[in-house]
A and B are shown apart, each in its own frame.
Chain A
Amino acid sequence: MTATKTDAPVSATRDKRPAPAGEPPGSARSERVSALVQQHGALAVLLVVSLVASFSFDSFATGDNISNMATSSAFLAIVALGMTFVIITGGIDLSVGSLFALGGVLAAWGSRHGTLVALLLPLVVCGAVGVVNGLLVARSRLAPFIVTLAAMLGARGLMLALTDEGANTYLIGKGSFLAELGQGSTLGLGNPVWITLALFVAGAVVLRRTRFGQHVYAVGGNEDAAALMGAPVARTKILVYTLSGVTAGLAGALNAAWLASGVTILGNGMELEAIAAVVIGGTLLTGGLGYVSGALVGVLLLKVIQNVINQIGSLDSSYQQVVSGAFLAVVVVAQTWLGRRRQLM
């Protein structure tokens, strides 16, 4: 009821109106603050960490290091992009790590049959796994975590079957279009970075500016209400798992192109990194709220911390996981508390 000084003009105009069926008094500001923290908290942390790092380590803010960080972030970022959609619908996709590895192997294997096969095969196969995930979640109503956990196992099995139980590493020929796509650079940044940026712009447009995007938010926000309001709940879920499969496969393919081979041991634990990045970036794990840009910031934050840990030298790179886990726990607790406070208001 008591308007604070800072937003006095706003509340003054509001007060002039006769008995508007308005908002609960006093909550507007705290709502805005918590929304701000939710959306941009990770960005602020990223800037602070980067700033401190560039003062502390001479080799941090160099062009080489930044370019390296950007390229190594690109693949995880693409995976996190698809994951963002899944998590906003209130689901989770634990199969992306395996699909990432599978995508890489398929691209390398397919590169012997031409660029088109090399690019399309991972997308089609990983997308198909995503479709199966989506069908089991949306139509059979099985818990997403168990479905995608099984898919993780299945996809890894498929990848091993393709590579003689992991003994066979397919190579991507030098000078091929695929190799150029992964290893070349434009304007000082690696091609994968540009591709990632383009995908994020597209992802943001899809999520924010299309009906499908609205449905993604609606399904995660309140599934029953979304169905009552006419949103195609099952179709939306199937599409997001498909999208997640496709992005994981694409990221794997690009990574293989970058490494010039389909490495079979990659992708372990990548699903957890992707989830951590998405959630740290401000997407609610319970669904209904999230940002594509947040996923990018979350990935960068994780990679910068990893870089810092590497720079310190005396620290083992496994600290990265501890930091991710701790970050995840803190963010989740904060989200739960913020969410509960809002309910009380």
Chain B
Amino acid sequence: MAPPAEVLAVRGLSKTFPGVRALDGVDLTLHAGEVHALIGENGAGKSTLIKLLTGVHRADAGDIVFQGRTVSFGTPLEAQKAGISTIYQEVNLIPLLSVARNLFLGREPRNRFGLLDFARMNREAEEALGAYGVRVDVRRPLRSLGVGAQQMVALARAVASEARIVVMDEPTSSLEPREVETLFSVIRRLRDAGIAVIYVSHRLDELYAVCDTVTVLRDGRRVHHGRLAELDRLSLVSTMLGRELGEVRTEGLTKFTGDHHATDAEPVLEARDLKVPHQLHGVSVSIRPGEVVGLGGLLGSGRTETAKAISGALATSSGRVTVAGVPLRAGSTPAAIRAGISLLPEDRKSEGIVPGLSVRENISLAALPRLSRFGLVSEARVDSIVDTFIERLRIKASSPHQKVGELSGGNQQKVLLARWLAMNPKVLLLDEPTRGIDVGAKAEVQKLVDELAADGLGVLLISSDLEELIEGSDRVVVLKDGAVVGELTGDEVTEDKLMRTIAGHAPDGDVLEEAATDG
């Protein structure tokens, strides 16, 4: 058999966003019929690479050679017409239109009067979907299908528009195990038909099940590429996270001192068996006063969801949260806050700060009722609190009246911390507290977390930065696919052990079955 043709050659692709070099001279080669895994942690540059390939952004430097021609797509539509289709995590179709009409939008068959020929359209839609093992009433609205079937429709649409490359961005994040199987068989069929697939996922089992080759990105650079079979799981995880196995730990890379050892006191926070459909399958975490508990796991393992479920921002289907022994009303953020839980959300810009309000107003926002009498804000008390925290957290703003939206990321994060510290919380849930902030601010935030724990706060720390997680935590609970797969305590809290737990646990299929029982 002749070697398959090269469909895509990316050379030296770079992209800089204000303040961040998102992609730095990345190469990628793709052959017909190749299923290529693209992996990396948050901020590694995966999504930037995909957006450059599919015409959402334009590259600053580098070439994209597609089927022998150098291309530069201005819009996703152009890329799609040329033959690069994308299946997004969130299905990007029209939910209220029928399945068949979604499949054929823009290229509907017409009869001799120029009117749409529904009989033919439905028949062809049934055939097209049948080829993927999807048998549904194609006249029903798309949204009446499961997410998996919807994804198949998107896939069928992509292939029908003569795609040469199909990019799948975390296609399985909301699929049932049997739907995942169907997707895999479709991918294999695409491969046999000579279509190249770029497959983005964080589920190692899946990668090994369908992918031939792999590219690992880290901090905007390609750090590994080659055949997937030649890379075992542990090496894959360590390459992705950028930590050598067995590497001698160099202490003091972070500002964490780690000298706050947990007391034997009763837990200040206990979360038992939290379940959220498709996202969490019975997660339990407990935190004692003065303890920093790390939440480990890859992207999509359920860390953020756990924090949100505890703080009442994500509705749970079952489970219980108690703060200092008192059970918490489920699904109510105000109740959680009153009980002393504070959440620093991962998405700082859209869920954390109120960008148009000032530093002063942002800091006092949650504590306003305490700083008011008869509904009137006591400006003196607000000033004193705001001044205290601006000084203590060293928030750099031109004045307390500057809009938070104009501050740097690190200072925005400090404003959010100040907002919560003003509430005298018992438990702090920190979701990626140092992501996207500069080195100086990062060190300050880490130091602060240490101090707070030393003062007796319980802290839940989520971080994709392995160093930060290991050095900052007294104990690490490891999540995978929405369930706890291990816990590291004492001397076990090492990067090595953490990576082994993430990679090693559960042979193929095991976790999927676990998840299935919760479905």
User: Which A positions have Cβ atoms within 8 angstroms of B?
Assistant: 14, 17-24, 27-28, 31, 35, 205, 208-211, 213-214, 217-218, 220-222, 224-231, 284, 288-289, 342
Contacts and interface: CB of A to CB of B under 8 A. Distances in A.
Interface stretch (B129-137, B366-374, B412-420, B494-502): B129-137
16 contacts: A14-B135, A21-B134, A21-B149, A22-B134, A22-B136, A23-B146, A210-B115, A217-B101, A218-B97, A221-B96, A224-B92, A226-B94, A227-B77, A228-B76, A229-B94, A288-B97
B96 A21 contact: no
Interface residues on B, range: 35 or more
A45 B135 CA distance: 36
A218 B148 contact: no
B97 A31 contact: no
A342 B140 CA distance: 14
Contacts, number: 110
Given A20-B136, A214-B106, A228-B77, 8 more contacts: A20-B133, A21-B133, A21-B134, A22-B135, A214-B108, A217-B94, A218-B94, A224-B92
Interface string B141-165: 1011110110110000100000000
Nearest to B90: A225
Given A222-B92, A225-B92, A229-B106, A19 B133 contact: yes
Interface of B: 76-77, 80-81, 92-97, 101, 105-106, 108, 114-116, 118, 132-136, 140-141, 143-146, 148-149, 151-152, 157, 178-179, 181-183
B146 A22 contact: yes
Nearest to A220: B96
A128 to B, nearest CB: 27
Contact of B134 (A20, A227, A228): A20
A195 B95 CA distance: 34
A19 B182 contact: yes
Contact of B178 (A19, A35, A217): A19
A27 B93 CA distance: 20
Contacts of B134: 20-22
A28 B140 CA distance: 9
Nearest to A284: B96
A58 B178 CA distance: 63
A289 B106 contact: no
Given A210-B115, A228-B80, A231-B105, A22 B94 contact: no
A14 B146 CA distance: 15
B140 A31 contact: yes
B96 A289 contact: yes
A333 B192 CA distance: 50
B259 to A, nearest CB: 47
Q: Which 7 A-B pairs have the closest CB atoms?
A: A221-B94, A288-B96, A209-B115, A21-B182, A21-B148, A230-B106, A225-B92
Contacts of B152: 21
A23 B178 CA distance: 12
Contacts of A231: 105-106
Contacts of A28: 140, 144
A221 B97 CA distance: 7
B182 A229 contact: no
A27 B135 CA distance: 16
A221 B98 CA distance: 11
User: Which one of B135, B151, B152 has the greatest number of beta carbons of chain A within 10 Å?
Assistant: B135
A230 B94 CA distance: 12
Nearest to A224: B92
Contacts of B157: 229
A23 to B, nearest CB: 5
A214 B105 contact: yes
A213 B116 CA distance: 10
A225 B133 contact: no
Nearest to A219: B94
A22 B106 contact: no
Contacts of A23: 136, 140, 144-146, 149
Contacts of B183: 21
A35 B140 CA distance: 10
User: Which one of B81, B151, B179 has the greatest number of beta carbons of chain A within 10 Å?
Assistant: B179
User: Which one of B146, B157, B179 has the greatest number of beta carbons of chain A within 10 Å?
Assistant: B146
B169 to A, nearest CB: 13
Contact of A229 (B105, B145, B149): B105
Contacts of B144: 23, 27-28, 31
Contacts of B132: 21
A9 B134 CA distance: 19
Nearest to B110: A211
A313 B134 CA distance: 60
A10 to B, nearest CB: 9
B151 to A, nearest CB: 8
B94 A288 contact: yes
